[in-house]
Amino acid sequence: MPEIWLSYGAVEANVDIKAENLGTTIETKPKAIETTALDAEISRITIEDGTLFIIPRPDAVTVKVLSMILSKVDRQRALNIAAATHPRNLSALRRTLEGTGCRILSFGPNETTETTNSYAAKKPLILKDYNTKLLLSSARFDPLFGFDGGPVALFRSIDEDFMREALTRYGNSEPSPGRPTKASEFALIMADQYQDVHSAEIVASGDDVSAVFTGSLKAAHIEASNYLLGCAHQILGEPVRSMLISPGTESAGSSLYSALKSVWNVIGGLRENGTIVLLAECSQGLGCEAFTQYVTGRLPVDQALDKGIYVEGLEDLQFLQHTASKFNIVLVSTLPRYYVETKLGLRSAGRASEALNHLYSTQGARTKVCLVTNASETLVSVGKAPETANVNP
């Protein structure tokens, strides 16, 4: 019996799969850049007095790059430097940047810009106080926009109306990671409202950096998305019946909301009525307002958009309901079984062995199980590669 270890929270869990049940193992991961090469990339970013760093999501790689940039700043020449983020991220960003001399600010109130593509975008008023604006974000696969990062990460953080509009324009109940969508087209058109904002978009390799792309919001996002697609996409010859996946990092599996991104990434390689086992501790619970409201009976999912309602995670909740109707999803986590099974319609398991027993009961004792060890950073599909990100405007 092969010895298999998969990430589960802060530890790795041993998974017992008989050799005759072990199918394809997918361990795709962007290669981490060497320190000297990363340092050279960072040195190309010039920071002057009156610079505002825009940090929609202060994850590990974004904070790492920001810290490297700040370490090279001449504090005698650049005294007015700040980083702005969403109010919920203020405490975390303050802790990570303590001692750097960089002020930490909230995005604050917005102003409405001119109407473009039948939508008036929002801009944080704080942007007017700085001559140089640099957006730092990480690229990743996204079920609604195809790719997250850049303009998508920014608009998610500052404008819930944008998210409601994007989800309405998306017009689909199936997740579409790694593919251009009506929502991504909308995001890139709206990015033109931010011509004065430069972008440094990072492709992660776990908690390390694989590549950094700089330029306008649109250009950097397209380059980063195409790079991610080129190094983290696995194409199967035919769909499989059984999958066992791990998000790959503690943060990616910290909540149900974050862990489900891994399911959306790989579901394109699973046969309809197939079974997928997700190992995600979910130590931080459900992870978003939409899931919390739904399990407590306060969110009418089917009518939310018609009623002008958008809360964080609404799209993932819609994708979950659709996906659960076509596939068998087994979640190995610490979440209460009542929420997982009764409220969300998934199968709950306390251990990997329990989940695999259910998988064998639905797909047969001789089924071949496809392992995806780093599903949060891996796209799996069947047949041919998706279109590249640069088909968008």
The verdict on residue 61 lying in a domain is: yes
Same domain, 108 and 213: yes
Cα angle for residues 162, 107, 187 (degrees, 5° grid): 25
Q: 68 is in which domain, residue-wise?
A: 35-230
Per-residue pLDDT of the chain (393 residues; tens, 9 = 90+): 577 999 999 899 889 999 999 999 999 888 999 999 999 989 888 888 899 999 999 999 999 999 999 988 876 566 789 999 999 999 999 998 888 889 999 998 888 887 888 888 888 999 999 999 999 999 999 999 999 999 999 999 998 899 999 999 998 899 999 999 999 999 999 998 899 999 999 999 988 999 999 999 999 999 999 999 999 999 999 999 999 999 999 999 999 999 999 999 999 999 999 999 999 999 999 999 999 999 999 999 988 998 989 999 999 999 999 999 999 999 999 999 999 999 999 999 999 999 999 999 999 999 999 999 999 999 999 986 655 555 444
Same domain, 161 and 48: yes
Domain boundary among 205, 230, 255: 230
Cα angle for residues 35, 70, 158 (degrees, 5° grid): 105
Domain of 93, CATH number, reads: 3.40.50.11440
Same domain, 58 and 139: yes
Same domain, 219 and 318: no
Number of domains in the chain: 2
Please give the C-alpha separations between residue 124 and each of 108, 120, 127, 220, in angstroms, as whole numbers: 6, 13, 6, 21
Same domain, 222 and 253: no
Residue recorded with tokens 């993932």: 316
Same domain, 91 and 216: yes
Please give the C-alpha separations between residue 324 and each of 241, 264, 341, 356, in angstroms, as whole numbers: 15, 12, 11, 18
The verdict on residue 162 lying in a domain is: yes
pLDDT of residue 100: 83
- In contact, 26 and 372? CB cutoff 8 Å: yes
pLDDT of residue 393: 42
Environment class of 247 (CB within 10 Å of its CB; exposed 0-12, middle 13-18, buried 19+): buried
Query: CB count, 10 Å around CB of 309?
Result: 16
Distance CA 326, CA 307 (A): 27
Q: Are strands 379-382 and 233-236 parallel, antiparallel or unpaired?
A: parallel
Domain of 343, CATH number, reads: 3.90.226.30
pTM of the model: 0.93
pLDDT of residue 389: 55
Same domain, 226 and 281: no
Same domain, 225 and 288: no
Same domain, 137 and 55: yes
Distance CA 211, CA 225 (A): 11
pLDDT of residue 1: 59
pLDDT of residue 125: 93
The verdict on residue 391 lying in a domain is: no
Same domain, 327 and 193: no
Cα angle for residues 206, 166, 191 (degrees, 5° grid): 75
What angle separates helix 60-71 from helix 35-43, to the nearest 10 degrees?
60
In sequence order, which residues have a C-beta less than 8 Å from that of residue 174 and are 6 or more positions away? 319, 322, 323
Q: Give the single-character DSSP code of 20.
A: G
Kind and range of the H or E run holding 158 = helix 151-158
Residue 201 phi/psi, 5-degree rounding, is -105, 130
Domain boundary among 230, 252, 278: 230
- In contact, 376 and 247? CB cutoff 8 Å: yes
What are the tokens at 315?
């799209």
Domain boundary among 184, 215, 230: 230
Same domain, 80 and 151: yes
The verdict on residue 393 lying in a domain is: no
Closest CA to 6 of 355, 265, 205, 246: 246
